Amino acid sequence: MAGTGFLGIIVVGLLVFIGSTHAQLQMNFYAKSCPKAEKIVRDYVKEHIPNAPSLAASFIRMHFHDCFVRGCDASLLLNSTSGQSPEKNAIPNQTLRGFDFIDRVKSLLEAECPGIVSCADILTLIARDSVVTIGGPFWKVPTGRRDGLISNVTEANTNIPGPFSNFTTLLRLFNNQGLDTKDLVLLSGAHTIGIAHCPAFSRRLYNSTGPGGVDPTLDSEYAANLKANKCKTPNDNTTKVEMDPGSRNTFDLSYYTLLTKRRGLFQSDAALTTDSTSSVLINQLLSNPLKFFYAEFATSMEKMGRVNVKTGSEGEIRKQCAFVNS
């Protein structure tokens, strides 16, 4: 009897182990349940992103902001839940674009395999495929994420690193997600593509301690150009400025070059040069070929894509990305 009991424990333990392994993210998670899923996403992205390449920056930012609040669970895509204001209303998310693009991809997948592919996986795949489509790095996207049920504006405002953050704040927010200084430097490199609106950095031009209100850590010539040609008043809320002037749709190393010239647009960009470890990492990236940055960036993106994911029986598979299932 004792031996039988011991064997039973082993069997139960094995079943628990098997269950837990099946609850983890894995490559080609949908191979049997929806074998065309990843191709459907990839084909739609390849068809439409060349006509709107700036969306690649929005999608990678959306993925980043989603993962920093309750993990990578597509909570950012939800409209109001339980009567509370959702993440998409948070200050860092108010300029995001592409929600309708995600909805169209979700519709295609629902037509192919109803109730199978999560919005969290869709967002993660679209972010990767969009960057690849504009010529940027490829990274592996294991799938099997499930969708969250809660979206809270306060949590987003609290947990998403802001453009005015100093290095200490940035690192704390990254550490909260299991990410480190290296991830902070590499993921900030996504600022090599995309645009920003004046309110995200205009206080560096008008409300800082330097002459004329200009942030003394910002290159004076660059600041003068921004004030003269872009954000001409402190109250400009609409003008868009390239994060990486001259190559905003090219995933390259010029963002880091600009940092060394004190031309990072955000205070949070400039903050990367105020820490010795971060500065060494920036110089390492600049002293190596582009493929080195791509490989390192891919590793950090894969790592971020696993932050606090919901798998197994957690959460749900939404029928529509903006709404929890009724």
DSSP, residue by residue, 96-136: ---HHHHHHHHHHHHHHSTTTS-HHHHHHHHHHHHHHHTT-
Residue ranges in the chain assigned as alpha helix (H): 2-22, 37-48, 55-67, 99-112, 119-133, 153-159, 167-175, 181-188, 203-206, 220-229, 254-260, 267-271, 276-286, 290-304
Q: Just list the catalytic residues.
A: 65
Distance CA 40, CA 259 (A): 38
Pairing verdict, β 195-197 and 240-242: antiparallel
Name residues whose C-beta falls within 8 Å of residue 23's C-beta, 6 or more positions apart in sequence: 144, 311, 312, 313
Give CA 82 to chain center in angstroms.
25
Distance CA 93, CA 268 (A): 17
Q: Minimal CA–CA distance to 121: which of 41, 47, 61?
A: 41
Helix (H) or strand (E) holding 196: strand 195-197
Q: Give the number of other CB atoms < 10 A from CB of residue 300.
A: 21
- Any idea what DSSP says for residue 84? B
